[in-house]
Amino acid sequence: MLQLSIIRENKQQVIDRLAVKNFNATLLVNEIITLDEQRRSTQKQLDDTLMRSKLIAKEIGNLFKSGQREEAEKKRAESLQLKNTAKELERNLNELIVSLNEKLVELPNLPHESVPPGNTDKDNEVIFEEGEIPELPETAVPHWELASQYGIIDFDLGSKVTGAGFPFYRGQGARLQRALINFFLDEAIKKGYLEYQPPLLINEDSGFGTGQLPDKEGQMYFVEEDKLYLIPTAEVPVTNIYRNVILQEEDLPVKNVAYSSCFRREAGSYGKDVRGLNRLHQFDKVEIVQIAHPDKSYNVLEEMKNQVAELLQKLELPYRILKLCGGDISFTSALTYDFEVYSAAQKRWLEVSSVSNFESFQANRMKLRFKNKEGKTRLAHTLNGSALALPRVVAALLENNQKEDGIYIPEALRPYTGFNKIVK
């Protein structure tokens, strides 16, 4: 959520910036400013009332002590009045705070100035492309065919045991998954990240902290009995480690990496892009998270971008990097790079990573701050990225590397798989 002071002091800029996200903020911003003014004046009135009431309470104490009953009783009546006033004011104040927050939470993050305008993913800007698109043999088939031909992923079995979008990985398929997870984790650790194994369920406060709640609760699985949500990404638990935390400046940047399963209801996405591994309800992902100094977060974003690119190079996958346009960038993000790999049998680009700088948007929600050298507390910046999400990487690896005699594993992965190719 945006800082009130920024909205107050740069009202027009906020409105103009949000227009890039195709978000008309004029009404909302005006409402927020009005509510904020009311809130502050009510707060002032309440503070004054409380001050008087505190003073009187002290006087009463002293009067009782010195035996001046009558005087004390008189003051007591006055105090009671103040108390009623205070109650009334407090009620108003709370109402104002609630409505203010409701409005504030509806405002998306401001897009970075380099975010291109646009409405849909068609308008995203391809900023980099690397790797050769492989020539496939005549017999080439999409990964879901390969999955059953080689017996490495069983979608039907998943449907039987759980439902659509929950595949079983089997034999060399399972081994490949495990290899990728270890490979990704090791690469991050080499770059100085601290590995975490987070809980897979999170509470409401955490969901709010990273911005999944209150808006996207329909996208998360919810355990009603315990009021817990299954994580849609490790970003949620790993960033929320720092909820209500004040770091020291020298602690920055914090670099954490976590492997986790991710759960997404994907309500409302149907059609052919859900075939095979393209879109699942449960999938595995290695996520990198950084908490950065506000002055350095864009350097960190570039660093993370390069890090993801390196992974794709090592996996020898053709990929491209997109800078998301205003219409496609998420509610919480200021700047996002998407990574897509080319899946040669499907002949399409698949998103395998999304690297974002949230600036202080999440930090403000979860009160993640640091104390600078002057001893002042400031909001930190949060960033995260997939490095990487497995299913579509697997899809591309399978499709692009299929040969007559099997599916070849890229060099970098072989120490992890323990085999060079997948065979029937």
Partner RNA sequence: GGAGAGGUGGCAGAGUGGUCGAAUGCGGCGGUCUUGAAAACCGUUGACCUUCACGGGUCCGGGGGUUCGAAUCCCUCCCUCUCCGCCA
Residues that bind RNA (CB under 7 A): 4, 40, 43-44, 46-48, 50-51, 53-54, 56-58, 60-61, 64, 76, 79-80, 83, 94, 246, 369, 371, 375, 377
Shortest CB 236 distance to RNA, Å: 18
Shortest CB 58 distance to RNA, Å: 6
Task: Count the neighbouring beta carbons within 10 Å of the beta carbon of residue 224.
Answer: 6
Q: Is 373 helix (H, G, I), strand (E, B) or coil?
A: coil
Q: Is 23 helix (H, G, I), strand (E, B) or coil?
A: coil
How far from the centroid of its chain's Cα atoms is residue 388's Cα? 15
Shortest CB 43 distance to RNA, Å: 5
Shortest CB 37 distance to RNA, Å: 9
Shortest CB 107 distance to RNA, Å: 17
The residue among 272 and 373 lying less far from RNA, judged by its C-beta, is 373
The residue among 21 and 39 lying less far from RNA, judged by its C-beta, is 39
What is the Rg, in whole angstroms, of the alpha carbon atoms belonging to the chain?
27
**Of 222, 346, 219, 372, nearest in space to 293 by CA:** 372
Percent of residues in the chain assigned helix, strand, coil, to nearest 5:
45, 20, 30
Sheet (strand 369-371) strand order = 246-248, 369-371, 377-379
Shortest CB 290 distance to RNA, Å: 22
Decide if 112 contacts 355 (C-beta within 8 A). Answer: no
The residue among 35 and 355 lying less far from RNA, judged by its C-beta, is 35
The residue among 59 and 316 lying less far from RNA, judged by its C-beta, is 59
Q: Is 66 helix (H, G, I), strand (E, B) or coil?
A: coil
Task: Classify residue 375 by its DSSP letter.
Answer: S
Which is it for strands 254-263 and 194-196: parallel, antiparallel or unpaired?
A: parallel
The residue among 43 and 99 lying less far from RNA, judged by its C-beta, is 43
Beta bridge partners of 154: 168
The residue among 74 and 160 lying less far from RNA, judged by its C-beta, is 74
The residue among 50 and 241 lying less far from RNA, judged by its C-beta, is 50
Shortest CB 47 distance to RNA, Å: 4
